């Protein structure tokens, strides 16, 4: 490319916003934040924040993990230090038609709607880029799905060499009927399939928008070699979707900035000792205001640790700092999006020994983790 062409491409990307801060639709594309843990064999979002690893039909569960990128490799030399890795298990019955393993990140609709990308125009573009490494040489299938207009764009990585980091780049135009709402629901779903069975490969043209149905998640049947190889691995990092026709350098940001974005969807609160003060309004009932840091996408749900008085439990103490004479095993919440909730119990939940109309305190007997969640 000539210098003039390079300059023209740079100006075009600046004009459509790709060189600006917060250009990445993806949250935690560097895979640095993992509030839930660093390894799991469960399906869903259990390790790296904002990206799920979902599977179905497997004989044995794959393992998802946040891992280190090896030093000296590219993408390590580009500043990417973490990756999201899936390790296949022994799929003893072979590659079933209904089997699948997928990475997925759902992007909030209003973030796309207000970005400046005209998703209905063939002359308005987004560019997806990421790094991938597979232990098995193959081509991976992928898709972008728009929930609001039930459209899907199928794509693939191209042929990958085994055990080699490769950068994948796809430029995608809008199209008539690809509408995205200005709300807090799902706007885009980014999906990559380590394996997808034939029940979900409806055929059709790759690299084009089309109507989506439940049997049309990939443009062509998938290669089964990765799925039928015990302990096959796939790693991804540096995931970015930005406005424009060119992939720009990955947008690095401080860890705390990425964490705050992730906390819109999940915030973990570690309770160790007394942390919130409320009142007991009967000898067997309490109510405690509880606050968190980041406004949630929608009214959140609470996941409490074990409620009780044992080590690691979440409990409630009386105004004297002692547990009540009878401590129940239930904690309830009335939740709000504006950073607070009311924690309480019902009269039949097994508590007794509070002093009516006195202070009480939420207490963690050792680290007790509360999860406040509003995921897509």
pLDDT reported for residue 317: 98
99, 228: one domain: yes
| % of the chain at pLDDT higher than 90 | 88
Instruction: Judge whether residue 60 has pLDDT over 50.
Output: yes
Instruction: Judge whether residue 85 has pLDDT over 50.
Output: yes
**Contacting residues for 110 by C-beta, under 8 A, at least 6 apart:** 181, 182, 183, 184, 187
Which one of 228, 258, 288 terminates a domain? 258
Mean pLDDT of 314-322: 96
230, 136: one domain: yes
| pLDDT 10s digits, 175-230 | 999 999 999 999 999 999 999 999 999 766 789 999 998 788 888 778 899 999 99
Mean pLDDT of 253-269: 97
CA distance 228 to 101: 12
**Contacting residues for 256 by C-beta, under 8 A, at least 6 apart:** none
Confidence band of 12 (pLDDT split at 50, 70, 90) = low
CA distance 222 to 141: 7
User: According to the 3-state scheme, what is the secondary structure of 29-73?
Assistant: CCCCCCCCCCEECCCECCCCCCCEEEEECCCCCCEEEEEECCCCC
Confidence band of 264 (pLDDT split at 50, 70, 90) = very high
Query: Are the beta carbons of 246 and 5 closer than 8 angstroms?
Result: no
Q: Give the rounded distance of the alpha carbon of 315 from its chain centre.
A: 30
* pTM exceeds 0.85: yes
CA distance 37 to 55: 18
CA distance 46 to 137: 27
Mean pLDDT of 319-333: 96
Average pLDDT of the chain is 93
Identify the residue with better confidence: 115 or 15: 115
219, 368: one domain: no
Q: How many domains does the chain have?
A: 2
Instruction: Judge whether residue 99 has pLDDT over 70.
Output: yes
Q: Give the rounded distance of the alpha carbon of 167 from its chain centre.
A: 21
Instruction: Judge whether residue 83 has pLDDT over 90.
Output: yes
Instruction: Judge whether residue 19 has pLDDT over 90.
Output: no
Mean pLDDT of 311-337: 95
Cα angle, residue 27 at apex, residues 40 and 262 outer, rounded to 5°: 65
User: Residue 183 is part of a domain; what is its CATH number?
Assistant: 2.60.120.260
CA distance 354 to 268: 28
pLDDT reported for residue 206: 87
pLDDT reported for residue 9: 52
pLDDT reported for residue 2: 57
229, 202: one domain: yes
pLDDT reported for residue 308: 97
Which one of 205, 228, 258 terminates a domain? 258
Helix H or strand E segment including 164: none
237, 270: one domain: no
Mean pLDDT of 53-76: 98
**How many C-beta atoms surround the C-beta of residue 232 within 10 A?**
22
| % of the chain at pLDDT higher than 70 | 94
* β-sheet with 125-134: strand ranges across: 39-40, 63-68, 82-87, 233-243, 125-134, 166-173
Determine the structural domain holding residue 279 and report its residue range: 266-373
185, 290: one domain: no
72, 132: one domain: yes
Write the DSSP assignment of 202-251 as a string of letters.
Answer: ----SSSEEE--TT-SSSSPPP-TTTTSTT-EEEEEEEEEEESSS-----
Query: Are the beta carbons of 153 and 208 closer than 8 angstroms?
Result: yes
pLDDT reported for residue 213: 83
172, 43: one domain: yes
Confidence band of 372 (pLDDT split at 50, 70, 90) = very high
125, 154: one domain: yes
132, 176: one domain: yes
223, 345: one domain: no
336, 227: one domain: no
Which one of 199, 226, 258 terminates a domain? 258
3-state secondary structure of 114: coil
**How many C-beta atoms surround the C-beta of residue 333 within 10 A?**
17
CA distance 148 to 82: 32
| pLDDT 10s digits, 180-192 | 999 999 999 999 9
Instruction: Judge whether residue 15 has pLDDT over 50.
Output: no
**Max CA-CA distance within the chain?**
80
Confidence band of 248 (pLDDT split at 50, 70, 90) = very high
CA distance 30 to 321: 43
């Amino acid at each position: 490319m000539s210098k003039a062409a390079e300059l023209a491409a740079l100006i075009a990307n600046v004009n459509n916003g790709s060189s600006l801060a917060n250009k990445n639709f993806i949250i935690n594309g560097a895979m640095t934040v993992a509030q839930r843990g660093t390894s799991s064999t469960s399906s869903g979002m259990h390790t790296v924040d904002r990206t799920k690893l979902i599977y179905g039909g497997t004989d044995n569960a794959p393992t998802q993990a946040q891992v280190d990128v090896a030093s000296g490799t590219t993408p390590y030399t580009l500043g990417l230090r973490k990756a999201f890795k899936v390790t296949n298990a022994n799929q003893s019955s072979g590659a079933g038609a209904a089997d699948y393993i997928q990475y997925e990140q759902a992007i909030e609709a209003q973030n796309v709607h207000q970005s400046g990308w005209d998703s209905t125009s063939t002359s308005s573009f987004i560019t997806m880029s990421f790094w991938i490494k597979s232990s098995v040489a193959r081509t991976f299938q992928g898709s972008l799905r728009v929930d609001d207009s039930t459209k899907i764009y199928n794509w693939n990585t191209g042929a990958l060499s085994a055990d080699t980091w490769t950068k994948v780049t796809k430029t995608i135009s809008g199209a008539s009927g690809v509408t995205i709402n200005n709300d807090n629901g799902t706007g885009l779903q980014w999906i990559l399939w380590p394996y997808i069975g034939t029940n979900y490969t409806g055929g059709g043209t790759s690299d084009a928008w089309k109507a989506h149905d439940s049997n049309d998640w990939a443009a062509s049947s998938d290669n089964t070699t990765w799925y039928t190889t015990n302990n096959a691995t796939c790693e991804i990092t540096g995931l970015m979707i930005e406005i424009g026709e060119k992939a720009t350098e990955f947008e690095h940001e401080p860890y705390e900035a990425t964490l705050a974005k992730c906390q819109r969807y999940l915030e973990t609160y570690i309770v160790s000792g007394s942390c919130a003060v409320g009142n007991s309004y009967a000898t067997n009932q309490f109510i405690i205001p509880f606050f968190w840091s980041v406004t949630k996408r929608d009214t959140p749900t609470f996941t409490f640790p074990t409620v009780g008085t044992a080590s690691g439990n979440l409990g409630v103490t009386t105004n004297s700092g002692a547990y009540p004479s009878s401590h129940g095993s239930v904690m309830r919440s009335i939740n709000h999006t504006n950073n607070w909730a009311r924690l309480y119990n019902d009269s039949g939940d097994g508590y007794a020994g509070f002093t009516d109309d006195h202070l009480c305190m939420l207490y963690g007997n050792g680290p007790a983790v509360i999860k406040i969640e509003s995921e897509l």
